[in-house]
Amino acid sequence: MTSQSERRRNRPALSLHVPEPNARPGDTPDFSAIPIPPAGSALRPDVAAPAEETWPLCTTLVRVLDDEAKAVGPWDPRLDPETLRRMLRDMVVVRVFDDRMYRAQRQGKTSFYMKSTGEEAVAVAAAYALDGEDMCFPTYRQQGLLVARGYPLVEMMCQIYSNRGDKLKGRQLPIMYSDRARGFFSISGNLATQYPQAVGWAMASAIKGDSRIAAGWIGDGATAEGDFHSAVTFAGVYHAPVVLNVVNNQWAISSFAGIAGAELTTFAARAIGYGIAGLRVDGNDALAVHAATQWAADRARANLGPTLIELFTYRVEGHSTSDDPTAYRPKDSGAAWPLGDPIQRLKAHLIGLGEWDETRHQALEEEVAAEVRQAQKEAEAKGTLGNGHFDDVETMFEDVFADLPWHLAEQQRAAVAEAKARGR
Partner 1 sequence: MSVMNMIEALNSAHDVMLARDENVVAFGEDAGYFGGVFRVTAGLQKKYGKTRVFDSPIAEGGIVGTAIGMALYGLRPVAEIQFADYIFPAFDQIFSEAGRIRYRTAGEWSVPLVIRTPYGGGIFGGQTHSQSPEAFFAHMPGIKTVVPSNPYDAKGLLIAAIEDPDPVLFFEPKRIYNGPFDGYYDRPVKPWSKDPRAEVPEDYYTVPLGKAAIARAGEAVTVLAWGTMVHVALATAEAEAIDAEVIDLRTLVPLDIEAVEQSVKKTGRCVIIHEATRTAGFGAELAALVQERCFYHLEAPIVRVTGYDTPYPHSMEWDYFPGPARLGPALKAVLKD
25 and 51 in contact (C-beta within 8 Å)? no
Nearest-approach distance from CB 252 to partner 1, in angstroms? 18
Q: Is 206 in the site for partner 1 (CB under 8 A)?
A: yes
Nearest-approach distance from CB 314 to partner 1, in angstroms? 29
- Torsion angle, CA of 281/286/291/293, rounded to 10 degrees? 70
Q: Is 202 in the site for partner 1 (CB under 8 A)?
A: yes
User: In what helix (H) or strand (E) does residue 242 lie, and over which residues does it extend?
Assistant: strand 242-248
297 and 134 in contact (C-beta within 8 Å)? yes
List CB contacts of 303: < 8 A, sequence separation 6 or more.
206, 239, 241
The size of the interface with partner 1 (CB under 8 A), counted in residues, is 47
Using CB under 8 A, which residues numbered 253 to 292 contact partner 1?
none
Nearest-approach distance from CB 170 to partner 1, in angstroms? 9
Nearest alpha carbon to residue 232 among 196, 281, 258: 196
Q: Is 411 in the site for partner 1 (CB under 8 A)?
A: no
42 and 60 in contact (C-beta within 8 Å)? yes
Count, residues in the chain:
424
Nearest-approach distance from CB 272 to partner 1, in angstroms? 18
Q: Is 204 in the site for partner 1 (CB under 8 A)?
A: yes
Helical residues (DSSP H) of 238-305, grouped into ranges:
270-274, 286-301
Q: Is 208 in the site for partner 1 (CB under 8 A)?
A: yes
Choices 54-62, 200-208, 244-252, 282-290; region in contact with partner 1 by CB under 8 A:
200-208
Residues 160-199 vs partner 1: string with x where CB under 8 A?
-------xxx-xx---x-xxx----xx-x-x--x-xxxxx
Nearest-approach distance from CB 289 to partner 1, in angstroms? 24
Q: Which CB atom, from 170 or from 342, has the smaller least distance to partner 1?
A: 170
Q: Is 213 in the site for partner 1 (CB under 8 A)?
A: no
Q: Which CB atom, from 78 or from 407, has the smaller least distance to partner 1?
A: 407
d(CA 320, CA 254): 11
Q: Is 303 in the site for partner 1 (CB under 8 A)?
A: no
Question: 310 pairs with which residues across the strands?
Answer: 246, 280
User: In what helix (H) or strand (E) does residue 161 lie, and over which residues does it extend?
Assistant: helix 153-161
Q: Is 405 in the site for partner 1 (CB under 8 A)?
A: yes
Sign (positive or negative) of CA dihedral 219, 222, 224, 225: negative
Residues 220-249 vs partner 1: string with x where CB under 8 A?
------xx-xxx-xx--x------------
d(CA 232, CA 222): 13
Is residue 333 helix, strand or coil?
Answer: helix
Residues that bind partner 1 (CB under 8 A): 135, 137, 167-169, 171-172, 176, 178-180, 185-186, 188, 190, 193, 195-208, 214, 226-227, 229-231, 233-234, 237, 398-402, 405-407
